[in-house]
Structure 1
Amino acid sequence: MVDGVRGYLFIAAMWMRSTLTYRTSFVLLTLAQLVTSGLDFVVIAVMFAHTDTLGGFELGEVAFLYGTSGVALGLADLLVGSAQQVGRRIRDGSLDVLLVRPVPVFAQVAADRFALRRLGRLTQTGAALAWSLVLLDVDWTWDRVLLLPWMLLSGTAIFAGIYVLGAAFQFWAADAAEVQNAFTHGGNTLTQFPPHVFARDLVRGVTFVVPLAFVNWMPALHVLDRPDPLGLPAFADFASPVVAAAVCGVAALAWRAAVRGYRSTGS
C-alpha cells in the first residue's frame, strides 16, 4: 500500500512538472475545461428562466445537487480518471511494461498522464456548490454540516470505484471505455437533477444496482429536508460511506482478478 501511494505520487508529480513546463497551454486547457463544464450549468439556468421549480426543487437546491455531484466526479476523475485508458495499453501491449516495474500496476495506470487541466471542472463545480450554499435556506444542524463533507468524500469514492471497475472490465472488453463513461459522466449528469423528475424504476436502478443515488441524492434529501421518492428508511440518508466502502471493495477485487487473469498480447 505504501509503495503504491509513493509510486502514484512520484508519477503524478512527474506529469505535473511536465504539464507546468508549458504553462500557457496548461492555462488554456484548464480554462477550456472550466468553460465546457460550465455549459452544463448554463443549461440548468436556462431551464429556471422558464420555470420556478424543477421536480419541486428551486434553483439553489438543484445547484447544490449539481455542485456536489460535479465535485465528486471532478476529484475522482483527477485522481484515477486515467485508469480508463488501460484498454489502450492492453491493445498496444504497453501494459506488459508496467507489469515488470517494481510499482503496483494500478498506481502506474491511475497516475499515467496525470492531467492538472481537470482542475477546470473541479473549480467550476466547486464554485457552483459554494454559490448554492449561499442561496439555500437550510437549518444547518450538526448532522447536515457533517453530511456535506461525507457526501463529497463518499461520492468521490463511489465514482473512483466505478472508474476502477470499468478499467478492470477492459481487460476482457478492451473497447469498453465509453461504457464506463456512461456510468461516470452519465451518472454525474443524472445526479445533477432531482430524483423526483425521473421514473421510479430508474431511481431504483441507480439506488440498488449501480448505487449512484448515494453519490449525492440520498444525503442531499436529508440536507434539503426533501422526501425520498422510494420511501427508504431514514438511515439510508447516512449510508453513503458504507456504500462507498462496498463499491471500492468490489472494485479492488475486480481489479486484482483482472490483473491476475491477464495474458500478454505478445506485442
Structure 2
Amino acid sequence: MAERPAYDTLSTIAPSTIRLVWLLLVSRIRAQWQYRASFWADVLGQATLVPLEFLEVYVLLHAAPIYGGMSLAQAAALYGMTSVAFGMADLVFGQLDSVNRHIKRGTLEVILTRPLSPLVQLITQDLQLRRLGRVVTGLVLYLVALGYADVTWSVQNLALAVLAPVGGFIIFGALFLFACGTLFFVLDGNQAVNAFTYGGRYASSVPGSVLMTPVKVFFTFVVPSTLIAYVPTAVLTGAELPAFWWPGLAWLTIPIGLAMWLLLLGYWKLALRHYTGAGG
C-alpha cells in the first residue's frame, strides 16, 4: 500500500514550495520552447479551433437572426467568454484528467514520495503552452463581439466583463479536479468525466435557453455551466434572459467556483486515500 502523503491539498503550499513549483514550470516551458517550429504549429492548431467550432453557431444564425434569444454578436461574445475561461482552465488544470495513466503505470508512487503536494505536481507535470492559442483567439472573439453587441459600458459592466471569465476559469478548474478524483475510483472513466468537463464547456458555449429542460437543469444546478457565460453575457449585452435564470447569478460565478473547489478538495483527499498502490 502506498504511504499516505502529508501534502495532499493546496493549503500546505509554503513560499519555498512556490519557488520550487516556479522552477519546475520554467524548466518545462524551456523544454517546449526548444522545438519552436513544432510549438508554433501546435499553437496555431489550437488557435484555429475557436473559429472553426464557432462556425456551428454562425451557420445557425445565418439561417435565423436570433439564436436562443441572442443575436450573432451576443452569441459570439458568449462563445468567446467560454473559450477564454475553458482555455485557461485547460492550460492550467487540463492535465489532471490523465491521473489514471500514472495509476496504471505505477508512476503515481513516485509522485506520492516527493515532499510536494501530489495535486501541485499533477497540475505542473505537463503544462502545454500550445493551449494558449485557444485562449488568445477566444479573447479576440470576446472583445470584438462585445464591441458589436452595443454594451452600455459602466463600471459595473466593465467589472462583470472581466470577472465573469475569471469565475468560469475557477469553475472549469474545479470540474477538472472532480475528473481527477473520480478517475481514482473509475480507472477507465475518461468518457464519463468528459461529460462534466468538455460537456460542460459545450453547454456553456450556447444560449442556455436552447437546451432541453433536463439538460438545462443539470448544467445549471449540478454542473453550473450556464452560469459561466450565458447569464453574464445576457446581462452584459441586454439579451432576454428567461425566468429560469436570475440576473444576479451573473455575479456569483467566482463564489460558486470557490465553493466548488472547497468541496472538491475534500473529494480529492478522499480519492487519494482510496488509492492503495500499484501492487508492486
Q: TM-score scaled by structure 1?
A: 0.94
Give the direction of change, closer, same or farther, for the CA distance of 1:228–1:46 in structure 2 (3 Å limit): closer
Indicate the SS of the match to 2:187. coil
Q: Does the CA-based 8 Å contact 1:204-1:230 persist in structure 2?
A: no
Say how many residue pairs are matched: 267
Residue of structure 2 equivalent to 1:118: 131
1:6-25 to structure 2, matched below 5 A, reads 6-25=19-38
Q: Residue 133 of structure 1: CA displacement?
A: 1.5
Indicate the SS of the match to 1:171. helix
The CA distance in 2 between the partners of 1:221 and 1:179, in whole Å, is 30
Give the direction of change, closer, same or farther, for the CA distance of 1:248–1:216 in structure 2 (3 Å limit): same
Q: Residue 158 of structure 1: CA displacement?
A: 0.2
Residues 1:236 and 2:249 are matched in the alignment: yes
For structure 1, the residue ranges without an aligned partner over 5 or more in a row are none
The CA distance in 2 between the partners of 1:189 and 1:164, in whole Å, is 18
Q: Deviations over 1:7-31 (max 9, x none)?
A: 4333222211110000011011111
Residue of structure 2 equivalent to 1:208: 221
The CA distance in 2 between the partners of 1:189 and 1:229, in whole Å, is 20
Partner AA of 1:67 in structure 2: G
Q: Does the CA-based 8 Å contact 1:200-1:229 persist in structure 2?
A: no
User: Considering only aligned residues, what root-mean-square deviation do their CA atoms show, in Å?
Assistant: 1.6
Q: Deviations over 1:100-126 (max 9, x none)?
A: 111110111111121011111111211
Equivalent residue in structure 1 for 2:112, among 96, 99, 102: 99
Partner AA of 1:264 in structure 2: G
Between stretches 96-105 and 186-195, larger displacement belongs to: 186-195
The CA distance in 2 between the partners of 1:72 and 1:220, in whole Å, is 13
1:95-244 to structure 2, matched below 5 A, reads 95-244=108-257
The CA distance in 1 between the partners of 2:245 and 2:17, in whole Å, is 39
Q: Residue 69 of structure 1: CA displacement?
A: 0.7
Q: Does the CA-based 8 Å contact 2:204-2:226 persist in structure 1?
A: yes
Q: Does the CA-based 8 Å contact 1:7-1:108 persist in structure 2?
A: no
The CA distance in 2 between the partners of 1:227 and 1:133, in whole Å, is 16
Q: Does the CA-based 8 Å contact 1:65-1:216 persist in structure 2?
A: yes
The CA distance in 2 between the partners of 1:150 and 1:64, in whole Å, is 14
Residues 1:84 and 2:76 are matched in the alignment: no
The CA distance in 2 between the partners of 1:172 and 1:76, in whole Å, is 23
The CA distance in 1 between the partners of 2:27 and 2:89, in whole Å, is 19
Equivalent residue in structure 2 for 1:58, among 64, 71, 87: 71
Partner AA of 1:185 in structure 2: Y
Partner AA of 2:258 in structure 1: A
Equivalent residue in structure 1 for 2:276, among 244, 247, 263: 263
The CA distance in 1 between the partners of 2:178 and 2:51, in whole Å, is 28
Between stretches 133-142 and 19-28, larger displacement belongs to: 133-142
Q: TM-score scaled by structure 2?
A: 0.90
Q: Deviations over 1:219-242 (max 9, x none)?
A: 222212234324444432322121
Partner AA of 2:133 in structure 1: G
